[in-house]
Chain A
Amino acid sequence: MIQQRLEASGDGLCDRTAHLSRRTLLGAGVGGLLMSALASRLAWADEKGLHDPGKPRNVILLWLEGGPSQLETFDPHPGGRIGGDVKAIPTSAKGVEISDLLPQTAEQMHLTSLVRSVTSKEGDHQRALYNVKTGFRPDPTLKHPSIGAVLCHVDDRGADIPRNVSIVPGNSPGRGGYLGAKFDAFKVNDPAGRVSDVKRPVADPRYDQRLEDLWKLESEFRRGRLKNLDLDRTLHETATKSALTMMSSDQLDAFDVSQESKATLDAFGDSRFGRGCLAASRLIEEVTLSGWDSHVTNHSLQSSACETLDPALASLLKRLDEREMLDSTLLICGGEFGRTPTLNPAEGRDHWPHGFSTLLAGCGIRRGAVYGATAADPKLDSDRPLDDVSDVTTVADIHATALSVLGVDHDFEEDTPIGRPLKRSEGTPITAIMA
């Protein structure tokens, strides 16, 4: 499994230039290499603000693009004026009820913590998406990195294949922001088969000659341009070398779920999202499910999206638990905002950042817990929308919590290109859901 990957030294996790491929590493004598790397990594960890440099840090973000309705998913208020057509069903977590549109997930809720009081100040898709993925509101002077990029930056132990992966990428896969484009997510489409285009089209000697000539040509292009043209701008050479490493890696199999049993495939659901979740149990990544933007016919659209989400999420939780991977894997499931408590004239719900739900599990997150609540009969005072939310949390708090359970200092200050040190997250960890 990826969690047991060899811990090659070098800065190749997302910067692929210094990778040792798996084969090379096996041939080099693993013991000596790891021993010699240990001391330097401890010092490096201190510099990077890592609590526990030996701890595996895997994150799966199930990204529900479009803004899932909290009322139709994890925070139902049936029967009241805002409840809509859903019912609440009991779950495996004592006292916790979720929407009847997620019956399979209900059986796995004992593995998770549910935060029902997430708030933000962004109601536009693009801005809210940026906010949730980075933990910061959009700032014209600075592009913030997504949480996947932050983790790649602080923990750059490598694999032949990229660690920050976006499967079935939506409109905006995680970006490297001010940490650099090299930390952008590696985008992969439907993992129904092997990764395409990984086979050399000509014999090795001829291919190697092509590459040799390519590097010569690249040196001419660099002349008179940005100082670190490749790392700061084009990433052309970096991406090419990463591609070459990947082409020779056995770990490519992790992207291919076609070898899984039919029962396993069926359990995750016959959808790109389901297959993405299955692959996610073998990688570290973001999987996107769109279709939540229900300005009209809310119930129908949310039901349809839940049909895809439910088997995949439930199976993923179950699989991670069965394989004892939840200790080393943090799963986050949510979207950029929630949806309005009241239905609009088109039976839809509009954007609502004043109290929505995010599900977390694994990696030190308490099991079977719920934090925060939204009012079943909200006052909806436009000047004080948060009066309807108890134990208010923010998007930044979710980020601080995630970083904390992953052993990463959330308030560690990174240097930014504009000369202003900036914390990795300006939120506060939600200790109530941390084990």
Chain B
Amino acid sequence: MAELVFREIGKVGCYKTNQCSGWKSWYTLKDVPPALFASPVNKLMKSAKTAIGATMRWVWFCLLLVLAFAYLAAGLSPSDEPRGKLVADGNRLETKLGESIDAVSQNASLESQASEADLRGLPVSIKPAVEAINRLRLDKLQQHQLPSAGPADWMTICRRMSLALIGNGLSLEEIRQLERVPEAMRVRVHLDRLLVDSRYHNYWGERWTRFLVGTEGGQFVVYRRRRFRIWLTEIFSANRPYDQMVEDLITAEGLWTDKPQVNFLTATFDSNDGQADPIRLAARTSRAFLGLRIDCLQCHNDFLGNVNLGDVADPREGMQTDFHQLAAFFTSAKTSGLQGVKEGDVDYEYKYLDADEEVSVEPAVPFYPELLPVDGTPRQRLAAWVTHPKNRQAARAAVSHVWALMFGQAMGESVDNLPLDETMDPMIESLADDFVTHGFNIRRLIRLIALSDAFGVDSRASFEVTPEHERQNAVFPLVRLRSEQVAGSIIQAARIKKTDRESSLILQLQTFGDTNDFVTRYGDMGEEELTSDNITITQRLMMMNGKLVRELVKSNPVLNATSHINMFAGDDANVVEIVFLCVLNRYPTDAERDLFTSRLGEANNREDAIEDLYWVLLNSSELAWNH
């Protein structure tokens, strides 16, 4: 008895029992609580506890099984609605549409126009603007005597939206949900859902962070890139107007931790001895907010005809003074110890290339001087000038950047080299007008682009497609996915449900780690990510033989879609269909269905065959390119 009690106590907490030699330890019988000797009651209680514990464990186990089954099987079943068929019954249509709209309009910030839309057309509030853009596209095609391809199917357009707004393709779960919506509404519903999706806010937060401060780490302590990114994420979440964002950045004051926008300034501290670097900020402001590369003016006048400034109607060559007068605005940003950045006086002296001595440089803007307000602090004046509704160059720069993010490439040569004195594509000009008129509303701008014919046109055509067709938007341009889009697409393809903040923590961590590793090796373009790049042998090797693809397609009943599909998808034809939807976001053609169904039928190991099918689709051009 004494021995039993002794062991019981030891199990509870006496680590020394393992170190005892024989039964000699600091525990003695007199140390044991007397209650433990009350054997009948104690035995009864112990039995009851054991029984309850066992029951609870079984209940938990069964519950987990049910949840796991529900998780694994979710989305595998096709929609009850026939594919591609519009729902004709008016009552059903209304109910389904209502459900869809309810789902997306719960967020107060959502500006869903679905309720004001005619069922098959565009939301009333953006209809004239989109139609105007569409007319301009047709005019352009007529002018170039180019035919237009037909419209792309809804799943292709939704994939484009997902790639642009959240950085990966559709999940099977999303496709199944959309199939329950009338086909004519699916694109709009998906767009509405994406715009209130935290994945969009995070993804665009990072894209704009790269654009505004780059990818470098900056000066330790005073630069917090992550804080800056989160601030931008919140901007997109709340859909704060673009002009307010720009104003906040240019006029930022305070501590970099308390006022994250201050990091726009502190990102340059490393090159100016702990102060905001007016040179870098002038170059960044010019590129990001004005769409002009005037960096060369830092050192000399533009005697080469690269940069035209001054009067927009009658421009002159860019001068060294243009650059430094713009830089002078930022010298009012002073670092004030623990108070962070405070507004001070302009204090800028510079020795120009042809000067004998330094001169005091007064702030001035390189064009539209009449738009620069007289009142306010230097940076407030600059911000007011940049965001002035009549500063057309700034609006064009913003629209060009959003367009490039949506299409994956700039409309012209680049997003930050838009000649002041040259007219841009009429669609960009029209979008710029609308952007200013509607209060610099980024979400509206995205809607206009995403619902335009230029975005919705097919990437293939019955005529011979040439690069000119792509340039003039007669077809959707084939654009290679960036590294993070490839990573996002293959990770999403290996899951049935969408991977977002609602996913399990383990899955989120795994996704985060996998994406970072993959992007690092695949090649990160940094802040130049909107310039085109070509596929490399290294990248093909990663996709064909690399760890991430290998891990994502192998048998893994807990995480991987290959195992889930094998367990729950039913017959081989259904397996092929589901894998195509997961990876390529489309149904297989008849020939593809026959080919891969036969492969599954012939296979000794069905899961291996599914893994092979996954590998083939993940390694296709179709996955690697936005089409």
Residues of A in contact with B (beta carbons under 8 Å apart): 121-125, 127, 140, 162, 171, 175-176, 181, 184, 186-189, 195-202, 206, 209-210, 213-214, 216-218, 220-221, 223-227, 229, 232-237, 239-240, 242-243, 246-247, 295-296, 340, 346, 350-352, 381-383
A217 engages B617 (CB within 8 Å): yes
A123 touches B300 (CB 8 A): yes
Interface residue? B625 (CB, 8 A): yes
A382/B354 in contact, CB under 8 A: yes
B608→A206 contact, CB < 8 A? yes
At the interface, yes or no: B115 with Cβ under 8 Å from chain A? no
B539 within 8 A of A: yes
Whole-angstrom CA separation of A35 from B534 in the bound complex: 36
The answer to whether B595 touches A239 (Cβ under 8 A) is no
**Among A184, A189, A201, A296, contact of B273 (Cβ-Cβ < 8 Å):** A296
Q: Give chain B interface residues in 601-627, CB to chain A under 8 Å.
A: 608, 612-613, 615-617, 619-622, 624-625
Please report the C-alpha to C-alpha distance between residue A225 and residue B625 in the assembled complex, in whole angstroms.
Answer: 13
- Docked Cα-Cα span, A352 to B300, in Å, equals 10
Sorted from nearest, which 8 A-B pairs have the closest CB atoms? A224-B460, A382-B354, A382-B353, A197-B541, A181-B534, A243-B540, A236-B621, A197-B545
> CB of B523 within 8 A of chain A?
yes
CB of B612 within 8 A of CB of A209, answer yes
The smallest beta-carbon distance between B102 and chain A, in angstroms, is: 38
Measured in the bound complex, the distance between the Cα atoms of B478 and A181 in whole Å is 15
The reply to whether B620 and A221 contact each other, CB–CB distance below 8 Å, is: yes
Q: Contacts A124-B295, A243-B544 known; A220 to B589 CB distance under 8 Å? A: yes
For the complex, is B298 an interface residue (Cβ under 8 Å from A)? yes
Question: Chain B: which residue is nearest A188 at the CB level?
Answer: B538
- What are 19 A-B pairs with beta-carbon distances under 8 A? A171-B526, A175-B534, A176-B534, A181-B534, A187-B523, A187-B538, A189-B521, A196-B546, A197-B546, A201-B550, A209-B612, A210-B616, A221-B622, A226-B467, A232-B467, A234-B535, A234-B625, A236-B621, A381-B354
Interchain CB contact under 8 A, A350 and B299: yes
Known A196-B542, A213-B613, A235-B534; further 8 A-B contacts with Cβ < 8 A: A187-B536, A187-B538, A188-B538, A214-B620, A217-B622, A225-B478, A236-B620, A239-B536
The distance from the CB of A81 to the nearest CB of chain B, in whole angstroms, is: 14
State which residues 523-549 of B face A: CB under 8 Å.
523, 526, 528, 534-542, 544-546
Contact A217 B541, beta carbon cutoff 8 Å: no
Q: Tell whether, in the assembled complex, residue B528 and residue A213 are in contact, meaning their CB atoms are under 8 Å apart.
A: no
Q: Give Cα A236–Cα B544 distance, bound, in whole angstroms.
A: 12
For A235, the closest partner residue in chain B by CB is B535
B461 touches A (CB below 8 Å)? yes
- B357 is an interface residue with CB less than 8 A from chain A: no
- Chain B residues, Cβ within 8 Å of A381: 354
Question: Does B370 have its Cβ within 8 Å of any Cβ on chain A?
Answer: no
Whether the Cβ atoms of B480 and A234 lie closer than 8 Å is yes
Contact status A214-B619, CB under 8 Å: yes
Which residues of A lie under 8 Å from residue B589 when comparing CB positions?
A: 220
B residues less than 8 Å from A202 (CB atoms) = 612
- Residues of A within 8 Å of B540, CB to CB, are 236, 239-240, 242-243
CA distance A235 to B595 in the complex (A): 25
CB distance from A163 to the nearest CB of B (A): 12
Contacts of B526 in A (CB 8 A): 171
Q: Which chain B residues lie closer than 8 Å to A187 at the CB level? A: 523, 536, 538
What's the minimum C-beta distance from B489 to chain A, rounded to whole angstroms? 15
Q: Mark B128-160, 1 if CB is under 8 A from A, else 0.
A: 000000000000000000000000000000000
Any chain A CB within 8 A of the CB of B176?
A: no
A123 to B539, CA, bound (A): 33
A426 CB, min distance to chain B CBs, angstroms: 16
Q: How far is the CA of A186 from the CA of B464 in the complex (A)?
A: 31
In the complex, the answer to whether A242 meets B537 with C-beta atoms within 8 Å is yes
Within 8 A of A (CB), among B270-308: 271-273, 279, 293, 295-296, 298-300, 304, 306
Interface status of B28 (Cβ within 8 A of chain A): no
- Do B480 and A127 touch (CB < 8 A)? no
- Docked pose: A216 CA to B596 CA in angstroms: 11
> Given contacts A213-B616, A218-B620, is CB(A127)–CB(B296) below 8 Å?
yes
Q: Using known A-B contacts A186-B536, A226-B466, determine if residue A198 contacts B545 with beta carbons closer than 8 Å.
A: yes
Which chain A residue lies CB-closest to B520? A189
The interface residues of chain B lying within 8 Å CB-to-CB of A181 are: 534
**Residues of chain A within 8 A of B466, CB atoms compared:** 226-227
Instruction: State the CA gap A407–B304 with chains docked (Å).
Output: 33
Are B299 and A351 in contact, with the CB atoms below 8 A?
Answer: yes
Whole-angstrom distance from the CB of A248 to the nearest CB of chain B?
12
> Residues of B contacting A352 with CB < 8 Å?
299
Contacts of A123 in B (CB 8 A): 295-296, 298-300
Give min CB distance, B411 to chain A, whole Å.
13
Q: Once the chains bind, are B462 and A217 in contact (CB under 8 Å)? A: no
A127 / chain B contacts, CB cutoff of 8 Å: 296, 306
Cβ–Cβ contact A210 & B621, under 8 A? no
Q: Which residues of chain B have C-beta atoms less than 8 A from A184's C-beta? A: 534, 536
The answer to whether B621 and A218 touch across the interface, beta carbons within 8 angstroms, is yes
* CB of B311 within 8 Å of the partner chain: no
Give the Cβ gap from A327 to chain B, nearest Cβ, in Å. Answer: 29
Q: A247 to B541, Cβ gap below 8 A?
A: yes
Q: Tell me, in angstroms, the Cα distance from A187 to B271 when the chains sit together.
A: 30
Task: State the Cβ distance, A420 to closest chain B Cβ, in Å.
Answer: 17
**Bound CA–CA A21/B19 (angstroms):** 67
A226 touches B465 (CB 8 A): yes
Most chain B CB within a 10 A radius of its CB, from A198, A206, A217? A217
Give the docked Cα–Cα distance between A124 and B416 (Å).
14
Q: A197-B544, A221-B620, A226-B478 are in contact. Are A213 and B537 (CB under 8 A)?
A: no
Q: Smallest CB-CB separation from A200: which chain B residue?
A: B545
Could you tell me the distance in whole angstroms from the C-beta of B481 to the nearest C-beta in chain A? 11
Contact B300 A224 (CB under 8 A): no
Which chain A residues border B295 with CB–CB below 8 Å? 123-125
**B464 x A213 contact (CB < 8 A):** no
Which residue on chain A has the smallest CB distance to residue B477? A233
Considering only residues 437-490 of chain B, those with a C-beta below 8 Å from chain A are 459-462, 464-467, 478, 480
Known: A201-B550, A218-B620, A350-B299. A243 touches B413 (CB 8 A): no
CB distance from B547 to the nearest CB of A (A): 8
A199 touches B622 (CB 8 A): no
Closest CB-CB distance, A277 to chain B, in whole Å?
Answer: 20
CB of B353 to closest CB in A, whole Å = 4
A343 to chain B, nearest CB (A): 12
**Closest CB in chain A relative to B352 CB, distance in Å:** 8
CA distance A295 to B277 in the complex (A): 11
- The answer to whether B537 touches A246, judged by C-beta atoms less than 8 angstroms apart, is yes
Bound complex: CA of A195 vs CA of B353, how far in Å? 49
Nearest neighbor of B467 in chain A, beta-carbon distance: A226
* B464 touching A227, Cβ below 8 Å: yes
Chain B residue with the shortest CB-CB distance to A162: B537
* A383 proximity list for chain B (CB < 8 A): 354
Looking at the assembled complex, report how far the CB atom of A218 sits from the nearest CB atom of chain B, in whole angstroms: 6
Set of chain B residues within 8 Å of A295, measured between Cβ atoms: 271, 279
Partner pick for B272 among A199, A236, A346, CB 8 A cutoff: A346
Q: Fill in one digit per residue for B346-374: 1 if any A CB lies within 8 Å of its CB, else 0.
A: 00000011100000000000000000000
Inter-chain contacts of A206 with B (CB < 8 A): 608, 612
- Docked Cα-Cα span, A295 to B298, in Å, equals 12
Q: Which residues of chain B come closer than 8 Å to A296, judged between CB atoms?
A: 271-273
Complex interface: chain B residues within 8 A of A351 (CB): 298-299
CA distance A235 to B622 in the complex (A): 12
CA distance A216 to B613 in the complex (A): 12
Contacting residues, chain B, for A209 (C-beta < 8 A) = 599, 612
How far does the alpha carbon of A163 sit from the alpha carbon of B420 in the complex, in Å?
A: 42
Chain A residues near B8: list those with CB within 8 A: none
Chain B residue, CB-CB nearest to A137: B304
B99: Cβ under 8 A from any A Cβ: no
Name the one of B273, B306, B465, B536 contacting A224, with C-beta atoms under 8 angstroms: B465
A124-B296, A223-B460, A239-B536 given as contacts; is B541 within 8 A of A196 (CB)?
A: yes
Contacting residues, chain B, for A198 (C-beta < 8 A): 541, 545
> Chain A residues near B298 (CB, 8 Å)?
123, 350-351
